[in-house]
Structure 1
Amino acid sequence: MARPRSRRCRAAEAAAAALLLTLAAACGSRLPESDFEHRDRPTATATAREPLRVGIITSATSPVGGNAFTGPRDGAKAFFDRLDARGGIDGRRVEVRTCDDGGSGVGNNACVHRLIDEDKVVALVATTALDYAGAPRVSRAGVPDIGGQPIGAAYDTWPHLYGIYGSLAPRDGTPGWHGTLYGGTEVYRYFKQEQGARTAAVVSYNQAASAAYARLVERGLRAEGYRVVSEQVDFALPDFRAVAADLKQQHADLVLDALDTHGNARLCEAMDDLGVRVTAKVTNVQNWTSTVPEDYRDAPHCRNALWVTGSSRNFDDTGDPAVREFRDATRQLRTHSQWQLEGWAAARWFTEAAEACAPRGITRACVDAWMNRSEGFTAGGLLLPVVFERLPEPPESRRTCLSVARWRDGRGWVTQGDMNRTCYDVPQLPYEP
């Protein structure tokens, strides 16, 4: 058994993020807290010295729609703005160069070329790309890509890429282990052990990617001993009322899905209309946002049964000082999300690496070497400990922790337990990227 580690890059969530996007397209040295207590204007040294350039690639105008991918970018920029206002890194401000790849492989390659070859960025930060086609080029150039979102398999494939949740894979140019990735069943274990769920429904579209992900979820649920109810709707003309009626008849107490946000909202409306009450309607980190009241405005009962799981501290947990700092720096944003918090954490990760390299020179090679030695990074407690281990063989089981929250009207997302103690020894199941 692998030694206890915490990493969210597991099948139930990494695949969920990728799937939701596919569906929509079809329609070392820590930066001390005291460094954030200086005056708010850049020092003369910071403005006089050459800035550090970092790049952020985001599929901001992808077919998925506006704002679907912009959270990590906005969180990272907020961190760097505050950092620059208080002196930058070793007296140098951080100059952020952003690039919108449009959600296409061609656009992504163009962004990679511009940022790496023309702008000469020292690192990429908080990459959030629908089609990370330029990942091999980033790797060949030896440019550290720090804290990106694992929408696809790139962060379990290429060296020099450091996803926000870490990786155990060899990262030798092939996804996972010989083309196979592995994920745990901790999400299902949690709802069974902590919430008493026994019958789980999985709702999907009759679309290849949706159906494939649904089968993966069902396999994990069965491994945890659930009675599984499979529900499928037509992608073009979905009948969510029929699904809701069957959920009620089957006495489902847990509902998971392979749907887009719009589909989730319509399913919730149908469940409310037919009086379907469940223990939990489970979604993923991509939908962990402050827009729940708007997205689910016509489904108050289902809305208050929404739960999310992930590997970062709840952005609504303002009693935590690290979260409070993030929220204070992002007050101007109209909405908040978990992806914004994770983008903030990615920017802090780069900053810690750059601070460690400053005495010798902040170069791509130095930052990459620091990242490659990352051990248990938490961004001041915002993340579960992140590690990178190139295991020659996949683990059969792992001890994995998770962050859990549920929605409550008037309170927002309410944290459920300590994410560093909500941990389970679970099997690792194979899946194809």
Structure 2
Amino acid sequence: MRRRLRAAESAALGLLLLLSAACGSRLPESDFEHRGTPTTPAAGTTPIRVGIITSATSPVGAAAFTGPRDGAEAWFERLNARGGIDGRPVEVRLCDDGGSGVGNNECVHRLIDGNDGNNVVALVATTALDYAGASRVSHARVPDIGGQPIGAAYDTYPHLYGIYGSLAPRDGTVGWGGRLYGGTEVYRYFAREHGARTAAVVSYNQAASAAYARLVVRGLKAEGYDVVTEEVDFALPNFRAAAADLKEQGADLVLDALDTHGNARLCEALDDVGAEITAKVTNVQNWTSTVPEDYKDSPRCRNALWATGSSRNYEDTDQAAVREFRDGTEKLGTHSQWQLEGWAAAMWFTEAARACAQAGTGVTRACVDDFMNRSGGDGQGNGEGDDGYTADGLLIPVRFERAAEPPRTRWTCLSVARWQDGRGWVSQGDMNADCFDVPQLAYRP
């Protein structure tokens, strides 16, 4: 099954940048941690070291970027409790880059080219607000596995393997000549499954928010929607006025280019004016168990929340792989789709390391990188993983194809869930069956 681009979702996550311009400072030693194994390794056994870079103390809030890190850590803890990789424990080295480019470069330096002999073999589940060190990681040929594409790095550099895959050449230039492409599958889904024909797009009067809103409007119009646009002031947003106009216009769908706080306030305003909508559509970052708290003042809108993504709903405990994830992350208290994707990224590294160990080549950067290229397919029908990587069914097949030309259309699949009070996120159909051949629209990140 062919893998879709996640460019549109990357742009949505990039809107976090509108909250603050991250200023950088050098990291104190306390921000660079290593975590060993909860079990005692055999005498003479050396650990396999991996690094996780996270903007844990970024200007957009302490919890904004920590989901993938928490999921990956939980996987490695469970793995070590079961004996590690061929008897070798995995040592996780954490670095908080503070959400700044300076801090990110510092983390990259410490993890991949330090002088203490403890360099990591790979990065896993990178979630950085400003991945300024991406070119340095690529130049050092360090595989970066399962990172979240907040920005264009995973569609720019070789040796970086985003959790959603990429079709781009990844030759050091963003996408194809500086352009990335996003599909219209989300809009096609709501038109086909729910008969939606009128959509509203709400944005701030801020450059990043407005740019993403324009991309959403283009996608909706390509799918035949009548589109209503609403712009609110970033400093003093009047969400009630926007909500009242949306009610008057009779929008079926509401999509936005807002931050999480803005989403919650928009939902509250929609409830206040009595707007009836088919769906308030959000993305994977907001696919969490904290919805009752985040949307506590808007019960009607809360129960119209829909999330879309490329990974299996963390509530689908009828699936063995999801049950294992839930068991392994029980102590976290809350659950999210980003945690599941971080767990899947750690699984991916583990499969690569095991393959290298069993082949007798040793768990090296080069061997792990070679496995990543093969497990994600090469698009030519030659790789052993040509159908893409699925993390035991947790991911829609992930591929890295290095297409010479951008696709005009793409066969894409979609994971969809709806929030329902008392039940949580309820999957809508099967993510490997909700598939469409949709146009790909260009944009500059």
**TM-score between both structures, scaled by the size of structure 1:** 0.94
Q: Name structure 2 gaps, 5 residues minimum.
A: 23-36, 376-384
Q: Indicate if the aligned counterparts of 2:198 and 2:225 stay in contact, CA closer than 8 A.
A: yes
Pairing 1:62–2:62 present:
no
Q: For 1:241 and 1:208, how far apart are their aligned partners in 2?
A: 22
Alignment partner, residue 368 of structure 2: 367
Q: CA deviation at 1:247?
A: 0.6
Alignment partner, residue 90 of structure 1: 86
Q: Indicate if the aligned counterparts of 2:146 and 2:161 stay in contact, CA closer than 8 A.
A: yes
Q: How does 1:172-191 map to 2 (within 5 A)?
A: 172-191=171-190
Q: For 1:112 and 1:149, how far apart are their aligned partners in 2?
A: 16
Which letter maps to 2:19? A
SS at 2:330 equivalent: coil
Q: CA deviation at 1:360?
A: 1.7
Alignment partner, residue 26 of structure 2: none
Q: Indicate if the aligned counterparts of 1:42 and 1:88 stay in contact, CA closer than 8 A.
A: no
Pairing 1:209–2:205 present:
no
Q: How does 1:26-105 map to 2 (within 5 A)?
A: 42=39, 45=42, 48-105=44-101
1:59-113: per-residue Cα shift (whole Å, max 9, x none)?
0001111110000000000000000000000110000000000010000000000
Q: For 1:133 and 1:43, how far apart are their aligned partners in 2?
A: 36
Q: Indicate if the aligned counterparts of 2:38 and 2:77 stay in contact, CA closer than 8 A.
A: no
Which letter maps to 2:162? G
1:356-407: per-residue Cα shift (whole Å, max 9, x none)?
0002211000000110112311000000001111111001101000100000
Q: How does 1:255-404 map to 2 (within 5 A)?
A: 255-358=254-357, 359-374=360-375, 375=385, 376-404=388-416
Alignment partner, residue 409 of structure 1: 421
Which letter maps to 1:7? R
Q: How does 1:123-134 map to 2 (within 5 A)?
A: 123-134=122-133
Pairing 1:114–2:110 present:
yes
Q: For 1:237 and 1:204, how far apart are their aligned partners in 2?
A: 13
Which letter maps to 2:220? L
Q: For 1:7 and 1:245, how far apart are their aligned partners in 2?
A: 36
Q: Name structure 1 gaps, 5 residues minimum.
A: 28-39
Q: Indicate if the aligned counterparts of 2:205 and 2:231 stay in contact, CA closer than 8 A.
A: yes
Say which of 6, 9, 12 aligns to 1:9. 6
Identity among equivalent positions (%) equals 77
SS at 1:382 equivalent: coil
Q: Indicate if the aligned counterparts of 1:142 and 1:364 stay in contact, CA closer than 8 A.
A: yes
Q: CA deviation at 1:335?
A: 1.1
Point out which structure has higher relative CO (alpha carbons under 8 A, 6+ apart): 1
Q: For 1:8 and 1:315, how far apart are their aligned partners in 2?
A: 22
SS at 1:173 equivalent: coil
Which letter maps to 1:363? T
Alignment partner, residue 25 of structure 1: 20
Q: CA deviation at 1:10?
A: 3.0
Alignment partner, residue 232 of structure 1: 231
SS at 1:393 equivalent: coil
Question: Aligned-pair RMSD on alpha carbons?
Answer: 1.3
1:297-335: per-residue Cα shift (whole Å, max 9, x none)?
000000000000000000111111111100001111121
SS at 2:83 equivalent: coil
Q: Indicate if the aligned counterparts of 1:23 and 1:259 stay in contact, CA closer than 8 A.
A: no
SS at 1:413 equivalent: strand
**TM-score between both structures, scaled by the size of structure 2:** 0.92
Q: For 1:260 and 1:140, how far apart are their aligned partners in 2?
A: 33
Matched residues, number: 415
Q: For 2:372 and 2:284, how far apart are their aligned partners in 1?
A: 24
* Moved segments of 4+, more than 6 Å: none
Q: CA deviation at 1:8?
A: 4.8
Alignment partner, residue 143 of structure 2: 144
